[in-house]
Every structure is written in C-alpha cells, then in structure tokens.
C-alpha cells in the first residue's frame, strides 16, 4: 500500500534554542502514528521553490495530541535551516509523507534508558507522554545532552513528562557548559553508568548525533553488557 501524502499547515514556529526551532503543524484527521516514528517533509529551496527535496523529522507530539510538533535543528548552509528560519510562518503549507520508522518502545517490563542529544530528544518527548497516558509503570531514565545552556530546550516540559510517570527520572548533561552550570558534565553515554546503576538490565534507546549512537552500540556490546536485541538507535546528521 502506498505511503499516504498529506498537506499540513504551520500553526506556530519559534526559535527555542541557539540553533533549534519548534514548529507546530495541523494534524490530518486520518493520520495515525506510533510514538517514535518520523515523517518526510517536502522542503523547498528558498531561492527556487519548485526545487523540493524531502527531509526527515521525528514527530515530537504524542499520538494522542491534536497537532504535529517538530524540533528542527539549524545547520549552516542547510536547505531546511534557511526554509525554517526565513519562510515557515503560521499559514505556511508543506507536503508530508509518512509515518515511517520502527524506533518505538517495545512492550514489556524491562526498565528503559533513553539517550537523546539535541533534537534527538524529539521522539522521547512523544514516548514519555505516551507512557504516562498508557499507565506504564516501568522505570525510565531519560538522559538529554546538549553542548551548552544556550542549546537546551523543553527542559521544564520534559521534567513534567517524567514527573507524570511513577518511576522516571530526567538527567541533563552539557559538554561545554558555563562555569555557572551545576548539573552533569559530559556526553550522555559517559554519564549514563553513573546515573543508572542497573545499566545491564535496561532496554536502551538512543537518538541523536550519529557518533553518539555508534558509541552507544559499542558500549552496549562491550562494557555495558546489553544484548543487541535490546538496543535501538536512530541517528541524526
């Protein structure tokens, strides 16, 4: 069966961190998706709107929410970066195809470790909300990593998501924080063993920088002792 194509319309676009925009769009009434999936947006070239190329974005909104939320990272010279910064406003329409992907939480009782860097936190926002609304009681540790305080976003919202679960914790870590920062320092995979004592018992989900997810795969196969069938990754460029 062909993948559905929809036209969605921007409701809001806001810069929420140094190089991240949060964009909300209308949700087609027939669109069904699972928390953790992604879609393709047909992104036009600003100087030549007829030149369109697809870009993949995780859906940050939960399946129960009425709008579609995306966290879009700006990259120097990026087609989508310029489009989002210069063209996307309330009323802007774009073609969307999907959903796609299998980066979804497996059912069961095993505790979860969610590792996300920058906009790689997007699918975990959806999944944390979905866990709470389904009454899931598993232990969950979410580790959110960014470069500095200026790169952080959704911290209060993510904290509210974990607070809605009976056994969940949020850990924020920065690789280049200011001297004022009192939280964790270092990469998500570096601090994970110190904040999650039962690491070997976890189902691991990692989303973000490809170097991070590759490192997580190696750590799971090595010192963390987690079999590959319990390791799930989604790499962002």
pLDDT at 70: 98
In whole angstroms, what is the distance from residue 88 CA to residue 83 CA?
Answer: 6
Residues 33-49: pLDDT tens digits?
A: 999 999 999 999 999 99
Above 60 in pLDDT, residue 147? yes
pLDDT at 3: 85
Residue 9 pLDDT grade (very low, low, confident, very high; cuts 50, 70, 90): very high
Give, for 83, the enclosing helix (H) or strand (E).
Answer: helix 79-86
- Asked if 20 and 71 touch (Cβ cutoff 8 Å), the reply is yes
Above 90 in pLDDT, residue 236? no
Above 60 in pLDDT, residue 165? yes
Above 90 in pLDDT, residue 208? yes
Residue 180 pLDDT grade (very low, low, confident, very high; cuts 50, 70, 90): very high
pLDDT at 1: 67
Above 70 in pLDDT, residue 237? no
pLDDT at 77: 86
Structural domains of the chain sorted by starting position, each given as residue range(s) with its CATH number in brackets: 5-100 (2.40.30.10), 112-235 (3.40.50.80)
Residue 235 pLDDT grade (very low, low, confident, very high; cuts 50, 70, 90): confident
* Average pLDDT across the chain, whole number: 96
Give, for 217, the enclosing helix (H) or strand (E).
Answer: helix 210-221
Above 90 in pLDDT, residue 101? yes
Q: Residues of 132-144 as b/e, b for ≥16 C-beta within 10 angstroms?
A: beeebebbbbbbb
- Asked if 53 and 41 touch (Cβ cutoff 8 Å), the reply is no
Residues 48-63: pLDDT tens digits?
A: 999 999 999 999 999 9
- In this prediction, what percent of the chain has a pLDDT beyond 70? 99
Compute the chain's Rg from CA coordinates. 18
In whole angstroms, what is the distance from residue 120 CA to residue 125 CA?
Answer: 10
pTM reported for the whole predicted model = 0.95
pLDDT at 2: 79
- Asked if 14 and 90 touch (Cβ cutoff 8 Å), the reply is no
- Asked if 161 and 97 touch (Cβ cutoff 8 Å), the reply is no
């Amino acid at each position: 069966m062909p993948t559905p194509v929809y036209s969605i319309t921007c409701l809001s676009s806001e810069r929420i961190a140094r190089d991240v925009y949060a964009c909300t769009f209308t949700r087609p009434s027939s669109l069904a998706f699972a928390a953790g999936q992604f879609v393709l947006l047909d992104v036009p070239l600003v100087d030549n709107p007829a030149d369109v190329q697809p870009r993949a974005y995780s859906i940050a909104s939960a399946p129960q929410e009425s709008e579609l939320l995306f966290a879009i990272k700006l990259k120097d010279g990026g087609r989508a970066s310029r489009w989002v910064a210069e063209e996307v406003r309330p009323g802007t329409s774009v073609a969307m195809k999907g959903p796609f992907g299998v980066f979804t939480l497996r059912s069961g009782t095993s505790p979860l470790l969610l590792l996300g860097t920058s906009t790689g936190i997007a699918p975990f926002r959806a999944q944390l909300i979905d866990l709470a609304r389904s009454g899931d009681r598993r232990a969950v540790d979410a580790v959110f990593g960014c470069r500095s305080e200026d790169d952080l976003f959704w911290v209060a919202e993510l904290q509210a998501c974990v607070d809605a679960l009976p056994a969940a914790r949020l850990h924020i870590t920065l690789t280049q924080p200011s001297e004022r920062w009192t939280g964790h320092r270092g990469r998500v995979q570096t601090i994970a063993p110190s904040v999650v004592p039962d690491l070997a018992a976890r189902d691991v989900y990692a989303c973000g920088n490809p170097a991070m997810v590759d490192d997580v795969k190696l750590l799971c196969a090595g010192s963390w002792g987690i079999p590959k069938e319990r390791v799930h990754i989604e790499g962002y460029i």
